[in-house]
Amino acid sequence: MPRQLLTISHHVARITLHHPPANVLNLSVIKELDLVLNEVEEDEYVRVVIVTGTGRFFCAGADINELARLNNQHAGSEFAGRGQQLFNRIERSKKPILVAINGTCVGGGLELALACHIRIAAAGAMMGLPEIKLGLIPGFGGTQRLPRVVGASKAAELILTGESLPAEEALRIGLVSRVVPPHELIAETEVIASLITARGQSAVETALHAIRGGFDIPLAEGLDREAELFGRLCVTSEKQEAVRAFLEKRKLKFADV
């Protein structure tokens, strides 16, 4: 039985983690997610992706039974590498990937959310990286992405204590961009997705490329790249239409929307 549910509508693909009771990320789930990503990335109709979960959990992270079987360095590094490869792919996607955190989001679940481009959480959802309590560290990118999002001090606190925090605190420290009532979570996320699909596809993809690439290079180099990408967009038909529509005070007429 598939552990991810995929629906596509209005240029938006929704991937729902469906592995009761806690939507854990075992190796078979990671492989399935990779296949689902293949499908949505190759589908030209899809412009935005939403990832969410079923039940009380968004995702409880790696399967503890698989962790228990990791008894040598090579196996552990290989296990971590598989998760990192998937999450790197999510982070580098040309299509914006939004995550709707519907419930408990810990360990690999939070690392999955950190790889997504926009994070929206249901009020009360708990988030954390508890690996230290198992004598481990986050292995799917958490030690690298969390400091980039919330700063080194807060990331160290969360990783070294293994304690979780509620969505409201996650919003305060910038871990998520919005917190909404649970019953409004999907609708709110879909509103953001619809705003993105209404923008020019080339501009959206280029903006993601600029944001993503800036993490790994000095500011001066990032600014040069931004200027180059800005220049490329100046000659696109999408830019010409958007500027004309603004000046003429009318709605956009993108051919593919």
Which residues are part of the catalytic machinery? 111, 131
Cα(66)–Cα(64) distance, integer angstroms = 5
Q: Which of 215, 196, 188 is nearest to 102 (CA)?
A: 188
Q: At what angle do helices 237-247 and 201-213 cross, to 10 degrees?
A: 110
User: What tokens were used for 156?
Assistant: 């160290």
How far CA 210 is from CA of 27, 123, 157, 230, 243, in Å, comes to 31, 31, 30, 9, 21
